[in-house]
Amino acid sequence: QGIRKLTLGGNAVKAGAKKLASALQVHPVLEWLELGANNLEDEVVDEICWALAANSTLTHLDLSRNDLTDESCEELAEMLRANSALLSLDLATCRIGDEGAAQVAEALEANSTLRQLDLTQNVMSPVFVTKQLARLKSRVRASFQRAPVMEDEDEDEDVEEDEE
């Protein structure tokens, strides 16, 4: 037995996140981890991803509302290529652009377990979103929505697709 769901969103766990990453390697029953709005930095995301690459119990990871860089997305992509348990990944409102989202999307080609990916309210271009939806919709329930601040304000505001 042990903790199956851990919700730490908005708690400034930045300093303790490294210890949390270490605990993820040995905690055999955690299924749900919510780390949204914690100002996580690349180094911490890297350690969390490294710990989750071989994790076989975590099915939901929420990293929403953190400013994730392309480097963070690269680490997430590596984790997705190796992880075989994660079903849901929430990356909403992380300021992810086309390059970071492309890394995550490409990793899904090697991941057969992820079923839900939330990339809403990021800063991807509408053309990129449309292209990725076409690639992912056959196997992943992907949500994409433009953030309100974009360079081309005259284009459609939302592009969203939910398919299973």
Give the model confidence (pLDDT) of 33-54 as tens digits: 999 999 998 889 999 999 999 8
CA separation for the pair 114, 9 (Å, rounded): 22
Which pLDDT belongs to residue 72? Answer: 96
- Write down the pTM of the prediction: 0.84
Task: Provide the mean pLDDT of the chain.
Answer: 85
79-88, 125-134, 142-151: which has the minimum mean pLDDT?
Answer: 142-151
3-state secondary structure of 6: strand
Which pLDDT belongs to residue 159? Answer: 44
Examine the pLDDT at 137 and tell me if it is beyond 90. Answer: no
Which pLDDT belongs to residue 103? Answer: 95
